[in-house]
């Protein structure tokens, strides 16, 4: 599987395309989030596919099961590599999302566990969820697997525990990845590509460490080297 997804956190396709072209990031796996997709719609997915980019469509669907099923049936026609829902939407919602993707073998379903911007304090004070971050992540990961999800989006720091409770093919897509020289910004549970590799992560999402780098091509190359060698 493709391992490092570059987060295209740009407001328009024009800016995204310019960034990819100018930095010679041809055909690299990319993550398309809400900002870009809500502005450009299916067009941005079609263009990225034309240019050979594997795609993780990061929309984090979270609604009643029927609505998510209908939305996911529409997204299935795009035939991206990954698409996701919020695991907090519950068992039936996850099941219906997977059901909607059943006609395509192209797209795998991921479920977001706990956002990497949340820590123990946010979990307790804002979400009022009992238990630790790790306990909630493991619960949501096993819930997702039981209801058909192919993997989860989680922090690197929860990968080891998730691996103990899920099958070997279960995907762990890990955002919050930073090169050693980068700041954490608004994410708290972060790690380097090398740490993620040693932890057993399946794939990474990297954004600002590359898009805000002085030389994005070299930054992406560095991330790949760290990931491949685990050092």
Per the structure, the complete domain to which residue 84 belongs is given by 4-229
pLDDT value at residue 2: 67
pLDDT value at residue 230: 66
Find out whether 104 and 76 touch, Cβ atoms under 8 Å: yes
What whole-number distance in Å separates Cα of residue 58 and Cα of residue 63? Answer: 15
Report residue 231 as tokens.
Answer: 């050092």
Find out whether 208 and 222 touch, Cβ atoms under 8 Å: no
pLDDT value at residue 186: 46
Around Cβ 134, how many Cβ atoms within 10 Å? 17
Beta-bridge mates of residue 110: 84, 151
The DSSP H or E segment spanning 172 is strand 171-174
Crossing angle for the helix pair 13-22 and 42-50, nearest 10 degrees? 20
Report residue 115 as tokens.
Answer: 């956002």
pLDDT value at residue 178: 82
In this structure, what are the phi and psi dihedrals at residue 54, rounded to the nearest 5 degrees?
A: -60, 145
Beta-bridge mates of residue 204: 4, 174
60 is an active site residue: yes
**Residue 78: DSSP 8-state:** T
pLDDT value at residue 94: 98
User: Would you give per-residue pLDDT tens digits along the chain (231 residues)?
Assistant: 568 999 999 999 999 999 999 999 999 999 999 999 999 999 999 999 999 999 999 999 999 999 999 999 999 999 999 999 999 999 999 999 999 998 788 899 999 998 878 888 888 889 888 888 899 999 999 999 999 999 999 989 899 999 999 999 999 999 988 886 654 454 454 588 989 999 999 999 999 999 999 999 999 999 999 898 866
Report residue 220 as tokens.
Answer: 């992406």
Which residues have CB under 8 Å from 183's CB, separation 6+? none
Report residue 169 as tokens.
Answer: 């093919």
DSSP assignments along 129-167, one per residue: --S-HHHHHHHHHHHHHHTT-SEEE--GGGHHHHHHHS-
Crossing angle for the helix pair 91-100 and 133-146, nearest 10 degrees? 50
pLDDT value at residue 187: 46
Beta-bridge mates of residue 45: none
Report residue 104 as tokens.
Answer: 């395509």
CATH number at residue 57: 3.20.20.70
Total structural domains in the chain?
A: 1
Which of 31, 60, 108, 197 is flagged as catalytic? 60
pLDDT value at residue 6: 97
**Residue 24: DSSP 8-state:** T
pLDDT value at residue 109: 98
pLDDT value at residue 176: 81
């Amino acid at each position: 599987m493709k391992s490092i997804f570059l987060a295209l956190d740009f407001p328009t396709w024009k800016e995204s395309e310019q960034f990819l072209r100018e930095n010679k990031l041809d055909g690299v796996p990319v993550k398309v989030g809400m900002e870009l997709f809500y502005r450009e719609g299916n067009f941005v997915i079609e263009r990225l596919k034309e240019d050979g980019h594997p795609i993780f469509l990061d929309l984090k669907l979270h609604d009643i099961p029927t609505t998510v099923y209908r939305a996911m049936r529409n997204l299935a026609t795009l035939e991206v590599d990954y698409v996701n829902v919020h695991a907090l939407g519950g068992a039936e919602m996850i099941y219906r999302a997977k059901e909607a993707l059943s006609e395509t073998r192209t797209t795998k379903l991921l479920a977001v566990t706990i956002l990497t911007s949340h820590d123990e304090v946010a979990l307790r004070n804002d979400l009022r969820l009992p238990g630790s971050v790790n306990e909630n992540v493991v619960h949501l990961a096993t819930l997702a697997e039981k209801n058909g999800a192919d993997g989860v989006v989680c922090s690197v720091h929860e990968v080891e525990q998730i691996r103990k409770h899920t099958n070997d093919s279960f995907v762990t897509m890990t955002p919050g990845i930073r090169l050693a020289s980068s700041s954490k910004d608004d994410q708290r549970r972060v790690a380097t590509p090398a740490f993620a590799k040693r932890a057993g992560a399946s794939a990474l999402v990297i954004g600002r460490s590359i898009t805000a780098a002085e030389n994005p091509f070299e930054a992406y190359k560095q991330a790949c080297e760290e990931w491949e060698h685990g050092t």
